[in-house]
Each structure stands twice: as C-alpha cells, then as structure tokens.
Structure 1
Amino acid sequence: MKYGPRLGVNKMFLNRKPKCAVLQCVLILTSILFLGFVLIKSQFNLASTDKNIPAKNKIGFENNGRHLYKRSGLRVNFETNNLDLRIIVITYNRPMSMLRCLNSLNDVDYVGHRVKLDIFIDRSSESKKVDQETYSIAKAFSFLHGEKTVNVHKKNVGLYGQWLDTWRPTEDNKEIAVILEDDMTVSPYFYKWLRAAHAHYDTRADVSGYALANVYQLAAAPGGIVVPLNYTAYMYAILGSWGFSPHRDRWQEFLVWYDSASTNASFNPYVEGIRHTEWYKSFQKTNSEGSMWTMWHIYFSHIHKLYCVFPNLPDRYMFGQNHHEAGLHYSGNVKADQLDKLVSKSNWNPDFLKMPKNAIKVDYYGRISFR
C-alpha cells in the first residue's frame, strides 16, 4: 500500500516509452530531411553561380531590352557620410591590369583623409561566370588607406551597368567619388588635385564632373585642344572617362534622366556635328552601342550646357593614365610616348592646385571662351 502510487506512476511511464521512441524517430527523420534539403539547396546555388563567389557580394541588375540599369535590390551602401573619397574600380577579366591599377592607388597621398575602395567585377555575357583570377586577386589585395569591398554582379551588366550603377549617392552624401576602369593607373597626387578642383568648381551649376586625364586627341578641332599653360585647368563640353569624378548633384540628375530616357526605344542621344555621335552611330550599325555609355552623358551635358573640368599641365602630363589595354575600344597597341605621362615626384608642382579664377571653356571644336 505504501508503494502503490509510485509503482503506478512507473508503470504509466513504462507504457509510454514506445510512443516516445516513435516520436523521437519522427523528429530525427524530419531533422535529417531538413538538413539534406539545406545542403542540396546550397550545392545547387553554388553550381548555378561560381564556387568561390560568396552570395553576399552579388548585385542585381535588370535589362529593359535596350540598356542595363539598376534594380531596386542594389546592395551597395552609398549612405556612408563619413567618407572623404570613394574610389570605384570596375573590372571584368583583366586581373593583372586591375592589380596594376590597385597598386597605384596604394601609392597615393590621401592627406590623411577617409578613403574607401570599391571593386566591381562583371560577369561574362556568354558563360555568365566571373573570372576567378580577377576575383581572387581583388579579394587578396590589401588596400593600405581604408576599407575595401569586392562586389560581384549577379549577371552580366556591361559598361552601362558598371558605370551608371556603381555610384548612386544619397542626397545628403558629401563624399567625392572617382570611377576608374581597370586599365588605368593614377598619379600619387591625383587626390590632391581632385580635391582642389571639387572645392573650386563644385558650386558652379555648369560643371558635370572632373577628369584626371586630358583629351587633346579627342577634340574635333584639327589641332586638338590648346589651352594657355597659365591656366592649370579648363572646362570642356565632353566628359573625360579616363578617371572620371562626377559632380554629385549633376550625376544624380543625369541618372534620373537616363533611367527615364533609355526606356524610349525610339530615342537616340545624338548631338549632331561632333565626332562622338559618328562613333556612336557606327557602333549602332554593329549593335555594339552598349560599349559607349558616354554618348548619353554627352547628350545630357549638351542640353543642360554642362562642362567637365580637366587638368592643363606642361608636356601634357596628367593625373590618370589609360594604358589602352585590349578590350571593347582598343586593340592593346599603344605607343610608348603615350605612356609614363603621370605626374610624379620629379615633375610635381604645388601650383597645379591653383585653379583659374576665371573659367576657360572649350567647345566641341576647340574654340576657347571665358565665362
């Protein structure tokens, strides 16, 4: 009698053991199935992209049938307000060219300012894959002056996506940005000049941006652009894409306009009477106008009467050098005298930072005016 209730309790639990065992088996089986599903899903994701590319670095773009443009899911944070300079390097499958560019960025004097390096890697339009050597070198590169991120596009975006969606700053963003293609190298003094140019010209409503390299050979005038050397900078009606630093406000306005204008399949951004339009039309004949995003910026600048600021230095030295690597626009052959034109310690002059008080403007045909 004394132990009756306890024995009854033990019998009750003994009778429940088979049910518990069945429940445990069900739980274990469910866990195994769930784990198997997760593993299969992750393997499928890796197989459908690239084994060495982490998903968190992927960016999405969409194609509207004519050009590539930003999707709302862009995962790059441009809301960082504590940066002085954002460097954007765009690349695809030229790993050693990219490394040369990155190494030149490590040699720059950033005067102690806050700098961030963003590397954007495009995918192949055919295989949809990322060049693994380019990705590995970008990930392994040690940027000595600030944070570095490597961003891999989710799909092929071409030059349009690389240029037009790698910097979309918010309205309260005050950073300077410069966009470099991977076959560029920069002068150790490029940031000093760029900062001085922004400080002097950013308040003007007719400035589209700033270029690190001059455009003597691109002028429509037979003799090219010739500006008196007592002017350390000049304003030209067409941007320079060899190291371009957009004016924040004008760039935002241009992107809004482009996102709308590019959806009109019947619209062409022609500026009649200039060489660039002829180039663009020739690209259209071969369905390769996607290699010339600049035509849209040229048209936008034309209708708003905007100018790009360029350095004007002795012997045509510059703060950014394009090496004309083989790609969409060049065969890879470049004359030796076109290289090694970067401003260096041996030819640097602090007077290069003295911007002209009176702006000197150059039109499409090389004609000079003062405004």
Structure 2
Amino acid sequence: MAPPRKPYISIFLLSLFALFIFTHYSFSPPSLSNPTTHFLSPQNPTSSFTFTIKVLAFNRLSSLSRCLNSLSSAHYFGDTVNLHIFIDHFPNTTSFDLGQKIETSHNILDFVDGFRWDFGQKLVHYRTVNMGLQAQWLEAWWPSSDDEFVFVVEDDLEVSPLYYKFIKGLILTYYYNQSNFSPWIYGASLQRPRFVPGKHGNKINLDSGTRLFLYQLVGTWGQVLFPRPWKEFRLWYDDHKAKGIKPVLEGMVTTGWYKRMGERIWTPWFIKFIHARGYFNIYTNFLHERALSVSHRDTGVNYGKTAGPDSQLLDENAHDINILEMQSLSNLQWYDFCFKQILPGRAAKKLNEIGRILDTMGKQKPILLISLSKSSEEVIRNLICHFERLNIQNYIFIVPNSKSDLLLDLPRRGHPMIVIEEVFDGISVGKKSSSELIKEITVISYVIKECLDLGFGSWVMTSNTLPLVSNPQLDSTNSIDDFYVGKSSSFFFVRSSSSSRRVWHKRFLQKFAAFMDSFVHLDSSVKKGENFVDFVEEYAVNHDLRLKIIDEIGFTLKLERVDGNQTLPTNTKMISWSPGMNMESVHKHLEELGLWIIDDDSSCRAVICHHS
C-alpha cells in the first residue's frame, strides 16, 4: 500500500470556497407525484460539505487492494473524506468450495481491518447474506442532508490521484454556485465516455476542446451522486417495485441486459428513472482515452473473464489538461441516450427571439406550431413521443402561462416553446380584449409572419392532432393557393412564398387583430370562434384572404369515428379528435390503434434513435 500523502491546503481551492458564498435557500423534499415542483438551489453550507467514498466489494482481494491503494494515494488537501467499505457475503449454499469461500472472505476482512485510512472515518459493513450488485448499490446510501455527497466505486476500479481535486471543484462550480446549478443534474461520472445505450444511436464524437458535457447515462465506474436526485430515485424505485412495474425501456441495450440478468443489476432501474425525469450526468473528455477513474473489468457479475482496463488514468504529469477548467453550465453541451445533442432553453418570450429558435430547425420545413392550451399533459406527452418516433424536429409549442409545469419542463428537455402572454405583451396592437384565446391567436398570427419572413411555411394545429408520418404533405402541392384549412381537424397551412408574404404582412395582422376584437364582442347568439382556424375562416369571409378548403378524406381521420379495433387506412397522415372528447375515450381509442405510447410515468415507452 502506498503511504498516504501529507495533507495540505490548496490556495486555489480556498479561493474557490471564498468565491462561492451565497445566501440560504429553503426547499421542500422531492415529490413522487410532481417532481418538477422543487427548483431552488441547495443551501450553501457554512462548513465544508461531507464527502464519503462507498466501495462495493465481494470476493476479489487483489482488485480491492488495488482500488483502496489508489484511493489512499489521492490528494485530499486536509479535507475529511470518509471511507465506507461494503463487503457482500458469499451465497449460503452448500458446495464443494465452501471452505475456500470462507477463507477468501476472511482474507478480505483481515486486509480491510488492517488497511490504514488517515483522511476520515473508515467503516466496514460485512453482510450476513449475499445481497448481489443491485442491493449493494441501492442500499449503500440514504442522504442525511443536501450537503452530503458520495463517490461510489466497485472494487475493480482504480482512481487518479487527481480525482478528488476535480470532484471538489465540480461540486463547488455546479452545485453551490447558483448561476451554474440545475436540479436536473444528478451527479458526475469520472469514467471515460464510451458507450451509447440507445440502439442505432450516434457514436460519441466530441471535439478536442470539450472538457465537460452533460449526458443522461449513469456511469458505474466512478459515479459521484448528488443527494436530492438519489433520494428521489430511491422513492421512485420503491413505488415501481411495489407495483410490479419493470424497468423496461424499449430501444435500449440496457433493457436487453435486464431481460437477461434480471435483478442482478441495478442500472436499468436508474436509467428508466432518468428517462422519465429527464435528468443528466456530468462527464469528462480528457482525450487520448484518459479518465480520472478506470475499471479493470475483472471477472465478476458483468464480465465472465477479466477484460483489462478500459482507459488510461490521468496522472499528475498530464500538463495538457487543467482539470479545474470548468465552463459555465450554459456553455456545456447536453446529450440524450442516443447521444443526440439536446438544445435546452429554447423558450421565446419576445417576437425577436423566435428567429433564434427557427435557426435551430435545420432543413426540416415547414414549422409545426402546436397549441397546447386545451390538452391534458398526458396527451401532450404522448404527442412528444410521436414526434420522437417520427424524428419530427420542426415544431414549436405555443404554451399559455396556465401550463406552469410545462413552461418549466419543456424547454429544459430541449423542446422549443413560445410563451403566449409574454410575447403578446410585446406586440403593439389594439388590445380591447384580454381573453386567453385572443392572446393565443394574435401570437400565432405574428409567429406565422416571423416564419414567412425567414423562409418557413407553417402548420398550425392543436395537440389534439397526431401526425402519423414525419412530413405530412398536402395533395395540392402544385396549387397556386397559399393558405389551406382543414375544417374538421382545425389545422391551417401556410405555404412559404413571395405571394403569401405579400398577404400576411404587418398591416394584415393589424386588421386581423381589430377583427378579432370586434368579433368577440358580437351578440352572444352569434357563434364565437374556438380556435385559430375558426377566426381565420370567419375573417376570410369578408376580407382579403383566400382560403383553400382541403378535402380531408384519407388525409385526416377523426378519432370519434374509429370503431373497435379498426386499423388505420394506409394513406392517413393525421388523426385528430375534438377537444371535448372524453379523455378516457381518447386513451382507449389511441391504445387500440397502437398510438398511445407513454407509460405510467407519462414518459415514452421506447427510446428511438435517429442518426444526426
């Protein structure tokens, strides 16, 4: 065993501590039913946070010796770092090698008892029965405060002497610095990123300048866990386990592992939880296959025979890397289980911010403007899963303030969004009526102009419509008309052309706004509009707007007309239903058609990867 290094205080880290002194914030515990309700950053501790290493061991003495020696050789700068060693028991079954198993366990215990740890408390937990790898992980920790962190390592892991220096800087930067804090980050992995669990996903391809990035996948070869997300996971696990719900997420390699190995492993459970919550993990990219923690992949649960180290340890002589170089959170890149880049924060609150969202749409045109005003959250989540299945990326959600959870949740998951009330407040039009409907229609009409000005056509539809193909095309593509209406499905299509831009100009928008104000103040016996299409149709009757009414037969199917287990006609491009249709009926019919693709967590049942 290498002798412990003399503790010393890093002047640089002391300056970091002084820099990140913030006021205290109150918080409530995470909720199973509504995990999006706690958004405040954690309290800044008056003293150092607590840090504990959790070593999970079984019957590999040489592996454990290598692991503990590497941990004791790291720099801790005089900090208190606790070491908890969990030694699993061999199965209590009669076998010819029982004596050898007892001897192996006793040798491990003798070694651990004699192992010197000068940096904090050493605790040894020797189990009385065989728990397995899943229980070793899940029962290793229950946080006692929001200032308690753990670093979980399996016994075939080896760490760099620099690992704690990096972890401490990362916690100070991304946990205690309010400007960089996000409740959606559950920890950090010190292993080299090398695995994409989504089938047919992208290869991990990072430029040489990327040091840190966000990735959904948990890293089991040296994982730092933040307290609140871990508590939330344990509660979620208890709930799902008690109900007999399995961590099956189609389209993931890890689901195949679970089907083959069952409850011997824990990662499919955590991955399913992360997928449902939309959380992320911090990863490093130190180039040349280097990492702060390396697995030797010794024979055990995961490997039938030793495979050897997966990476090279980053040592103290690596002068080309500054491990404390940490960008602001807003500058880091985010990746999902397919290693597709996520673009969080695309929420327009002003008209001039819509252009930046459109710049991210790539070559997919036209833009789908989806009103979320009159739909349940389940319907919206189901729609999003269909967008992911079809690889539809050219959409923008139009969201009212009343959908407060969605206002917070959609942009962080990378879904582009326009906030109705805030954009409306910045539009200079007559505002005799302040109804939510008028605000939404006004905003949509102005967004259409923004799209046309930047060369994008637009579909306007509600979330009570499901596209069944990735790019629904109208049959009248050679028509000279610019504006199309689907009356029964309440969709509106604007073709991108010079003639449509000449019609849909600023003066037209002002006239349309004045018409809406007068229309809603008509006698109550007159039918009032219920959505954007109703108002556009009514305006076109006596004004300068020519609409092409689309024959929707074969193009759109009304869900109300679906009988029993009827299959969809092959040429159907959309399916829609009335906003007043009973939610249970919607769920039932879509389930029968194979179009209800969310689970009990209202998250997608499958991960479907499309190459970027």
CA contact (8 A) 1:200 1:355 kept: yes
Cα-to-partner distance string for 1:97-136 (whole Å, 9 max, x where unaligned): 1011000011101122111111011111234986111111
The 1:350–1:229 alpha-carbon spacing in structure 2 relative to 1, beyond 3 Å, is closer
- Provide the rounded CA distance (Å) in 1 between the counterparts of 2:77 and 2:305: 34
Does the CA-based 8 Å contact 1:185-1:321 persist in structure 2? Answer: yes
- Aligned-partner SS, 1:333: coil
Q: Is the 8 A contact 1:231 1:356 kept in 2?
A: no
For 2:239 and 2:270, how far apart are their aligned partners in 1?
13
1:90 Cα offset (Å):
0.8
Tell me if structure 1 keeps the 8 A contact 2:146–2:228. no
Contact 1:231 1:355 in 2 (8 A): no
CA displacement at 1:85 relative to structure 2:
1.6
Q: Output one character per residue of 1:281-313: Cα deviation in whole Å (capped at 9) or x when no partner.
A: 2x1xxxx31222011100110010001111111
Contact 1:359–1:370 (Cα < 8 Å) also in 2: no
Pairing of 1:1-371 with structure 2 (within 5 A): 84-127=50-93, 131-170=105-144, 172-202=145-175, 203-220=181-198, 224-265=203-244, 267-281=245-259, 283=260, 288-334=261-307, 338-339=310-311, 341-347=312-318, 351-357=322-328, 358-371=331-344
After TM superposition, give the deviation of residue 222 of structure 1 in Å: 6.1
Conserved? CA contact 2:212–2:326, under 8 Å: yes
CA 1:335–1:95 in structure 2 vs 1: closer, same or farther (change >3 Å)? Answer: closer
1:315-338 Cα offsets, whole Å, 9 max, x none, are 1211111000001111333257x3
Distance in structure 2 (CA, Å) of the matches to 1:299 and 1:348: 39
CA distance in 2, matches of 1:356, 1:83: 22
Provide the rounded CA distance (Å) in 2 between the counterparts of 1:206 and 1:243.
Answer: 20
Which one has a larger percent helix, Structure 1 or Structure 2? 1
Structure 1: runs of 5+ lacking an equivalent: 1-80
Match of 1:262, SS? Answer: helix
Q: Secondary structure at the match of 2:79?
A: coil
- Describe the shift of the 1:113–1:164 C-alpha distance in structure 2 as closer, same or farther (beyond 3 A): same
Structure 2 counterpart of 1:275, which letter?
A: V
Q: Distance in 2 between matches of 1:86 and 1:178?
A: 6
1:199 Cα deviation from its structure 2 partner: 2.3
Q: State the TM-score, normalized to the length of structure 2.
A: 0.44
In structure 1, how many angstroms separate the alpha carbons of the residues matched to 2:342 and 2:272? 21
Distance verdict in 2 for CA 1:92–1:159, change over 3 Å: same
Equivalent pair of 2:202/2:340 in contact (CA under 8 Å): no
How far did residue 214 of structure 1 move? 2.2
Question: TM-score, normalised to structure 1's length?
Answer: 0.71
User: Could you list the per-position Cα deviations for residues 255-280 of structure 1 after superposition, in whole angstroms to 9, with x for gaps in the alignment?
Assistant: 11112211222x11122212211222
Point out the more displaced range, 173-182 or 102-111.
Answer: 173-182
Q: 3-state DSSP class of the match of 2:195?
A: helix
Contact 2:196 2:338 in 1 (8 A): no
The gaps in structure 2 that reach 5 residues or longer are 1-46, 95-100, 176-180, 345-612
> Aligned letter for 2:236?
W
TM-superposed deviation, 1:225: 1.2
Give the conservation status (yes or no) of the 8 Å contact 1:180–1:242: yes
Q: How far is the alpha carbon of 1:185 from its aligned partner?
A: 0.6
Counterpart secondary structure, 1:149: strand
Shift in Å at residue 151 of structure 1? 0.9
Displacement of 1:95 in angstroms is 1.0
What is the alpha-carbon distance in structure 2 between the residues aligned to residue 299 and residue 196 of structure 1? 29
- Measured after TM superposition, the shift of residue 165 of structure 1 is 1.1
Shift of 1:211: 0.7
Give the paired residue count.
Answer: 282
> What letter corresponds to residue 84 of structure 1 in structure 2?
T
Counterpart of 1:137, as a letter, is F
Identity in percent? 27
Distance 1:253 1:276, change over 3 A: same
- Paired residue secondary structure (1:351): coil
Check whether the contact 1:324–1:331 (CA below 8 A) recurs between aligned residues.
no
Q: Is the 8 A contact 1:83 1:114 kept in 2?
A: no
The 1-side partners of 2:289 and 2:327 are apart by 18
Please report how far the alpha carbon of residue 232 of structure 1 lies from its aligned counterpart in structure 2 after TM superposition.
1.0
Does the 8 Å CA contact 1:104/1:188 hold for their aligned counterparts? Answer: yes
Displaced runs of 4 or more, over 6 A? none
Quick one: which amino acid aligns to residue 149 of structure 1? L
Determine helix, strand or coil for the equivalent of 1:353.
coil
SS in 2 for 1:108: coil
> How has the CA–CA distance of structure 1 residues 186 and 275 changed in structure 2, closer, same or farther, with 3 Å as cutoff?
same
Give the drift of 1:346.
1.7
Q: What is the CA-CA distance between 1:140 and the residue it aligns to? A: 1.0
